[in-house]
Amino acid sequence: MHFATISPGLPALLSLICLIPTAFASDADKTSSATACIATSTSGAFFDLRPDVAVKPKADGSRPANSHGAPLVDYHARGYDYGANFTLNICGAVVEPVEDVKGVAESKWQNVSAYYVSKGDIYSLGSQSGSLVTRGKELVLQYTGGSPCGKDKSSDYNLSDRSTVHDGAAWRGSDERDDDEDAAEAARSDGGKIDVTKVADEPKRRKSATIFFSCDRDPVASTAQVSFIATDPEECSYVFKVKSQHACAGAEPHAPGSVGPGSVFAIILGIAILVYLLGGIFYQRTVANARGWKQLPNYSLWASVWSFICVSITCGEETKKKREFLPLKG
């Protein structure tokens, strides 16, 4: 049996082929997804928090289609010393609708993603957002556009009215100088007049919520756990922490329409076969002076394989015909 010698130029071509997977891998590290509640870090870590998004059940209480085990109720976090508990959802509006949200237009009530109740009033911590952000090893989600807060939390400037902030306000009882007292003192120094127009024209600050996600590898934990961390003295920025098994970094799945691992392997295999045939034919024709079918690399080997297959098929058909004509034994 004759085996043709491989052309000296083939190793260089094969080396180039081996670089193809590396090129595909470098492109994969740069991919990112614009889908809500999905993020890809610069290091290639992939996060998909869509299973943690609470969804509203059907009218009969059954689970909606394609919910993939998502929770059917909102998440709750205890405020402890804050004086109020929190209700929120991840990457979506709260499941239970809210009404009469302080300082938020009625058209935006359906978009509230986090809120708390104090003295019967509902305060929004921001509207829904699915824009996950990776900062190093941290995964962050932020809601903005909540109820008014800070010194300009109310459009009606009244020094004696301080009921717009509930009793759990972090600044109550502090030793710092109050902004209202500063304004009153400035008014007294100007003859007792306050420029209400100037105060009203100042932009309102609104409450926001920042959610940090941490990986939870506990196999028993079926749903995400939300904890309230802190708020700033003016009660404008609220910080939460969510422990979830879906916040653990993983490999990005194959996206429809892109080149997956199977396609990459098929491309490499096709190029390798093409190089084998073209390189072998070139060598057999120029060096071995072969012509016809003998120009194919390892022609003797492939010819013997083909002959074996043909003989096996022919023998099988002949054996079948012989069995058909054998007399039946009584």
pLDDT tens digits, one per residue of 37-61: 888 888 778 888 999 999 988 888 7
Task: Write the CA distances from 196 to 154, 187, 200, 258, integer angstroms.
Answer: 12, 11, 6, 60
- Residue 320 is predicted with a pLDDT of 60
Range name among 39-48, 187-196, 212-221, 226-235 with the lowest pLDDT average: 187-196
Share of the chain above pLDDT 90, in %: 32
pLDDT class for 22, splitting at 50, 70, 90?
very low
Averaged over 86-103, what is the pLDDT?
A: 94
Q: How far apart are CA 38 and CA 20, in angstroms?
A: 28
pLDDT class for 256, splitting at 50, 70, 90?
low
Averaged over 242-265, what is the pLDDT?
A: 75
- Residue 292 is predicted with a pLDDT of 82
Share of the chain above pLDDT 70, in %: 66
Q: What angle do CA 168, 172, 173 make, to 5 degrees?
A: 125
Averaged over 274-290, what is the pLDDT?
A: 86
Closest CA to 90 of 43, 45, 139: 139
Amino acid residing at 192: G
- Residue 259 is predicted with a pLDDT of 63
In this structure, are strands 205-206 and 148-149 parallel, antiparallel, or unpaired? antiparallel
Radius of gyration of the chain (CA): 36
**Cβ-based neighbours of 170, under 8 Å, separated by 6 or more:** 82, 231, 232, 233, 235
Q: How far apart are CA 259 and CA 266, in angstroms?
A: 10
Q: How far apart are CA 279 and CA 285, in angstroms?
A: 10
Closest CA to 55 of 46, 47, 63: 63
- Residue 157 is predicted with a pLDDT of 36
Averaged over 224-251, what is the pLDDT?
A: 91
pLDDT class for 167, splitting at 50, 70, 90?
very low
pLDDT class for 194, splitting at 50, 70, 90?
very low
Alpha helix positions (H), the chain: 10-18, 20-29, 179-189, 196-201, 261-286, 299-325
pLDDT class for 220, splitting at 50, 70, 90?
confident
Name the strand (E) or helix (H) holding 231. Answer: strand 225-231
Residue with tokens 């590898």: 217
Q: Share the mean pLDDT of the chain.
A: 75
Averaged over 71-75, what is the pLDDT?
A: 92
Which domains, and CATH codes, for the chain? 10-25+258-325 (no CATH), 32-247 (2.70.130.10)
**Cβ-based neighbours of 260, under 8 Å, separated by 6 or more:** 254
pLDDT in tens, 115-159: 999 999 999 999 999 899 988 778 999 999 999 998 755 544 333
- Residue 254 is predicted with a pLDDT of 55
pLDDT in tens, 103-116: 999 999 999 999 99
- Residue 152 is predicted with a pLDDT of 57
pLDDT class for 310, splitting at 50, 70, 90?
confident
